[in-house]
Structure 1
Amino acid sequence: MTTWNPDDLAAIDNVGELDVAAHRPDGTLRNSRVVWHVVVDGALYIRSVRGQEGAWYRGVQRTGTGVVDAGGVHAEVTFTRDDTHDASIDAAYRAKYGGGSAVVAITNAVATATTLRVDPA
């Protein structure tokens, strides 16, 4: 696992949305999707609000690689399922995005089952 440059991670963390595009098996990129993201213990995490039915999430599952764009940072990345920090990730989503219905959706069991750690490739 490669770690983020602290400046890049801070720039990503400071914005509200992350563009995610998965690689297809042939190496081309799928269309990007906007997702919410959080940083916990120096790692970047994302979830699919639609759970495993989310189109971008299904695409990520096929190759485990892609690109992200946020805060002026463009990076090739790997996506790894990681449920070791779910309670902290839930708290980080609430702290960053508030307590509305969208946060309830991103912290429910369906979304939590799709927690991915995003690492630079």
Structure 2
Amino acid sequence: MTTWNDSDLRNIGAAEELDLESERGDGTLRDPVTMWVVRAGDRLYVRSVKGVDGPWFRATRSRQRGRVKAGGVRASVTLHVADPDEYADVDAAYREKYGRYTSIVEHVLTDRARASTLRLEPR
């Protein structure tokens, strides 16, 4: 597993939103999708409100690679489905960072959304 450098981890983790361009099977990038991003420890995560059936999540499954842009950082990433034992920390990170959006944040804390938790690792 490759780890983030401190600056990129801090900047992406603090960004309000992240743009994700997932790779198609042929290696080209899809149009960016804007989403929330959270930091839990030394890892970065995103989730689909629509769970594993969400269009952007399904698009990530062909190559499990892409590019992100957030907090002034552009980076190529590998997209790993998070283990269920990571969910509690990711839930806490979403509550802490986006809790002011009370009616919205609950949508990323459902079992459906948890199943789509992706860990972003630099490559």
Question: Shorter-chain TM-score: which interval?
Answer: over 0.9
Alignment equivalent of 1:107, drawn from 109, 114, 117: 109
Confirm or deny that 1:44 pairs with 2:44: yes
Unaligned stretches of 5+ in structure 1? none
Query: Which residue of structure 2 aligns with residue 4 of structure 1?
Result: 4
5+ long unaligned stretches in structure 2 = none
* Alignment-derived partner of residue 61 in structure 1: 61
C-alpha separation between the residues in 2 aligned to 1:15 and 1:80? 20
Instruction: Find runs of 4+ consecutive structure 1 residues off by over 3 angstroms.
Output: none
Q: CA deviation at 1:101?
A: 2.1
Match of 2:19 in 1: 19
Aligned to 1:88: 89
What's the C-alpha RMSD, in Å, of the aligned pairs?
A: 0.9
Q: 2:81 & 2:19 partners in 1: Cα distance? A: 18
Distance in 2, Cα, partners of 1:53 & 1:85: 20
Contact 2:36 2:46 in 1 (8 A): yes
Q: In the TM superposition, what whole-angstrom CA distance separates every residue of 1:3-32 from its partner, at most 9, and x where no partner exists? A: 001101101111110000100011110111
- Between the aligned partners of 1:56 and 1:67, the Cα distance in structure 2 is 13
Indicate the residue corresponding to 2:121 in structure 1: 119
Q: How many matched pairs?
A: 121
What TM-score do the two structures reach when normalised by structure 2? 0.95
Contact 2:15 2:37 in 1 (8 A): no
Q: Distance in 2 between matches of 1:79 and 1:53?
A: 16
